[in-house]
A = this chain, B = another copy of it.
Amino acid sequence: VFTKNTNRGRGRPPGRTAEGEATRERLYRTALRLIHERGYDAATLREVARRAGVSVALLYRYFPNKRAVVLALYDELSETLERQASMGMPGGRWRDRFDEALSLSLGVLAPHRVTLRALAPLIVSDGPDGIFSAATAFSRRRVQATFERAVTAAADAPRAALAPALGRLLYLGHLGVILWWLLDRSPSQRATTALLEAIRRILPAASLALRLSPVQTFVLAVDRAFVEGLLGGEAAANAPAAVSAP
């Protein structure tokens, strides 16, 4: 369903050569390392150029600003999650698959926590780089599709409309967990570990609750509002369950 690299051109100048790709990759890694060391605000593209031994003009051709680095990171991380999830998701119940998707996602993000903390404001903004904006839609859909498939391709997937709806709400909940993790000031983010453990323990009860009519109505209603209000009416992550089922 997803063609690799269709969106990798972000920040890359026209004329894709192997050399150009290698330069881009080196500049990208240098920028990430600097942001990690200095923090997002203090890192400058000027210093990235200096460290990488290229002119600022050349760097700007690849990354016109720091946000371009960030969008490339989002692209890379979502691609990694998608790949890991396509290989590593357990069969069986949706709650185990959701739990796994959540763990995979946090595992992919973990090495970049310092950088991502600086990005949290960007993510919730309604600007061009917001999590629900058009500019980031390609990366977002990959992640959203991972959570939708966690439910739709599960052995105990709820009936038709309920499955993708639940998947999308779990994706939304997962964004909440990431935000919590980014704001978590406890040592080694152990409060996030505790949250994940609490979620894991309540999932069997949540799974039972999903058989109740008021709970199903709730899921469908909130999903409908989520799609209309936050996703801009675009419900489908374009990932047919059949193709990506384990």
| B126 lies within 8 A of A183 (CB) | yes
A interface secondary structure, majority? helix
Residues in B whose Cβ lies below 8 Å from that of A232: 185
Q: Does A192 contact B (CB under 8 A)?
A: yes
Q: Does A60 contact B (CB under 8 A)?
A: no
Stretch at the interface among A94-102, A135-143, A218-226: A218-226
Report the interface size for chain A: residues with CB under 8 A from the other chain: 45
Contact A230 to B184, CB < 8 A, known contacts A176-B176, A217-B201, A225-B194: yes
Instruction: State how many angstroms separate the Cβ of A171 from the closest Cβ of chain B.
Output: 14
Residues in B whose Cβ lies below 8 Å from that of A195: 222, 225, 229
Residues in B whose Cβ lies below 8 Å from that of A17: none
Residues in B whose Cβ lies below 8 Å from that of A122: 121
Residues in B whose Cβ lies below 8 Å from that of A197: 221
Known A184-B230, A201-B217, A204-B214; further 4 A-B contacts with Cβ < 8 A:
A124-B182, A132-B185, A183-B229, A192-B229
Binding site for B on A (CB under 8 A): 117, 120-126, 130, 132, 176, 179-180, 182-186, 189-192, 194-195, 197-198, 201-202, 204-205, 209, 212, 214-215, 217-218, 221-222, 224-226, 228-230, 232
